[in-house]
Amino acid sequence: AQSVTQPDIHITVSEGASLELRCNYSYGATPYLFWYVQSPGQGLQLLLKYFSGDTLVQGIKGFEAEFKRSQSSFNLRKPSVHWSDAAEYFCAVERDMRFGAGTRLTVKP
Amino acid sequence: DTAVSQTPKYLVTQMGNDKSIKCEQNLGHDTMYWYKQDSKKFLKIMFSYNNKELIINETVPNRFSPKSPDKAHLNLHINSLELGDSAVYFCASSQDVEGYGYTFGSGTRLTVV
């Protein structure tokens, strides 16, 4: 069955530490892949997307993501997390814009 | 000059009532969507609509209906509200181009009491 999975429901990192949020997809062909961020009480904002070409994509707010076809993964990374990055992060695939369950990021001072 | 705007931001109503949520986008996008986000933050698509077709998620009760007076608006009507309809509803829009990505509104928190 087609699906997108975010294995981590909640992650806590210290401010200044690096971050990696995991996303795995299960589709017949490589779909378009997205990461969105939802700050408390807000809508979703597009961070970055991948559909072809360079497997390392850069996004807004210092985020990047790497597409690995062999692992069916599209993990989101940031080298140094800021307190303002605390939010809910969603991976999504565009066959039918299906979202993962989300990963809540908490940032410790 | 908000790109996708929803009104109201909060809506509290009694069971059995009929209510509407409005959505407008000023991006010139071709397609609009409604999503439901439950208390666990899970996002489920309810409808997608462009001037060609309406696609309905088959799991959505027929008490929910989208109405599009024009390309820039997609309103959500809900009849006979139930407690389980309490959620945050997001409107979104996109160009009808693969890989474009969606622009979301800030959401409407519906509470049915």
CA B113 to chain centre: 20
Judge: B4–A43 Cβ closer than 8 Å, yes or no: yes
Q: Which domain holds residue A54?
A: 3-108
Residue A31 has pLDDT above 70, yes or no: yes
Question: Which band of pLDDT confidence, cut at 50, 70 and 90, is reported for residue A68?
Answer: very high
d(CA A30, CA A88): 24
So what's the pLDDT on residue A94? 81
pLDDT of residue B101: 87
Q: What is the mean pLDDT of each run of 10 residues along chain B (113 residues)?
A: 90 98 95 93 91 81 92 95 97 87 94 97
Where in chain B are the domains?
Answer: 4-112
User: What is the predicted pLDDT for the residue at A95?
Assistant: 66
pLDDT score for B11: 97
- Return the CATH class of domain B4-112: mainly beta
Number of Cβ atoms within 10 Å of the Cβ of A74: 30
Q: Does A94 touch chain B (CB under 8 A)?
A: yes
For the cut 90, the answer to whether the pLDDT of residue A16 exceeds it is yes
Question: What secondary structure does DSSP assign to A6-74, as a single string?
Answer: ---SEEEEETTS-EEE--EEE-SSPPEEEEEEE-TTS-EEEEEEESSS-SEEE-GGG-EEEEEGGGTEE
Residue B11: closest CA among B67, B57, B77: B77
* Chain B residues near residue A101 by CB distance under 8 angstroms: 40-42
**pLDDT tens column, A86-103:** 999 999 988 677 899 999
Residues B42, A102: C-beta atoms closer than 8 Å: yes
Find, in chain B, the residue whose alpha carbon is nearest to that of A39. B106
Q: Report the residue of B24, B47, B102 to disrupt the A interface, i.e. the one with the largest count of A CBs within 10 Å.
A: B102
Q: Is the pLDDT of residue A1 over 70?
A: no
Mean pLDDT across the stretch A8-16? 97
CATH number, residue A82:
2.60.40.10
The CA distances from residue A100 to A9, A37, B39, B84, in Å, are: 10, 12, 15, 21
Residue A2 has pLDDT above 70, yes or no: yes
**Would you state the torsion angle of the CA atoms of residues B9, B74, B65, A98, taken in this order, to the nearest 10 degrees?**
-80
* Number of separate domains in chain A: 1
What whole-number distance in Å separates Cα of residue B112 and Cα of residue B109? 10
Q: Please compute the mean of the pLDDT values over residues A68-94 and round it to a whole number.
A: 95
Return the pLDDT at A72. 92
Contacts of A42 in chain B (CB under 8 A): 106-107
Q: At residue A54, does pLDDT exceed 70? A: yes
What number is the average pLDDT over the span A29-33?
83
* DSSP secondary structure letter of residue A71: G
Residue B37: in which H helix or E strand, if any? strand B31-37
Neighbours of B44 (CB within 10 A): 15
Q: Is there a contact between A97 and B99 if contact means CB atoms under 8 Å apart?
A: no
Neighboring chain B residues of A105 at a CB cutoff of 8 Å: none
